[in-house]
A and B are shown apart, each in its own frame.
Chain A
């Protein structure tokens, strides 16, 4: 069974701090990795996609991918209360093309 693992949290950080969200996956052949943000009662919203080892930055967000260790992370710099949400990690299954979602990590940014 293909798996994507996330710590469900909640992860609590003070406003202005760096929030670090982690995700591990089981299929070494996975090639595409996505981070979605989901506010309570809303649908998932794509934040970042990453396909190559290393870092990818977009504003306050940085995605990091390490295929050898099979983990992908999301860093949020200068965290704001509006960043409080559940962050879903999704990894493609190379055999079926399906996206496998993790359970999500709930982030709380305290003012």
Chain B
């Protein structure tokens, strides 16, 4: 256990559904991240929050909407997704992304399937 939890672990949804992914970290970190991992591709950074403020949006389609109510919780709201959005969605946290030695710790991920 890394101290980063994600729910649900598996999610199947239709293209018209709305769902949310939740991430919680118990490490006292200040930065949280959403990554997408598709088969045969490197990890893709989606969003970064530092001290609850969004500092990075890597040209992610608007059908993905992040929310960070506090430094310990991060959500990813999903609506009108496409089948190509099926992937493993990983949450990570780190102490402070300004530090050059900043280390990211990953949650277990949510395996998302869009039908």
Q: Which residues of A contact B (CB under 8 A)?
A: 4, 8, 31-32, 34, 36, 41-46, 49, 51, 88, 90, 92, 94, 96-99, 101-104
Given contacts A44-B90, A103-B42, contact A49 B101 (CB under 8 A): yes
**Sample of 29 A–B contacts (CB below 8 Å):** A4-B42, A31-B100, A31-B101, A32-B100, A32-B102, A34-B103, A36-B106, A41-B111, A42-B109, A43-B90, A43-B108, A43-B109, A44-B43, A44-B90, A44-B106, A46-B103, A46-B105, A51-B101, A92-B100, A92-B102, A94-B100, A97-B98, A97-B102, A98-B45, A98-B56, A99-B104, A101-B43, A102-B42, A104-B42
Q: Report the bound CA distance from A8 to B45 in whole Å.
A: 20
Whole-angstrom CA separation of A37 from B97 in the bound complex: 21
- C-alpha gap A92/B48 in the complex (Å): 14
User: Footprint of A on B, CB under 8 Å?
Assistant: 2, 40-43, 45, 48, 56, 88, 90, 97-98, 100-109, 111
Q: Which residues of chain B are within 8 angstroms of A49 by Cβ–Cβ distance?
A: 101, 103
Main secondary structure of the interface of B (DSSP, over half): loop
- A45 contacts B106, CB within 8 Å? yes
Complex: A41 Cα to B111 Cα, angstroms? 9
Within the assembled complex, what's the spacing in Å between the Cα atoms of A104 and B37? 12
Residues of A within 8 A of B103 (CB): 34, 46, 49
Instruction: Determine chain A's interface SS by DSSP, over half rule.
Output: loop
Would you list the 7 A-B pairs with minimal beta carbon distance, nearest first? Answer: A101-B43, A43-B106, A97-B97, A31-B100, A43-B109, A101-B42, A103-B42
Q: How far is the CB of A51 from chain B (nearest CB, A)?
A: 6
When distances are taken between beta carbons in the complex, the residues of chain A under 8 Å from B111 are 41
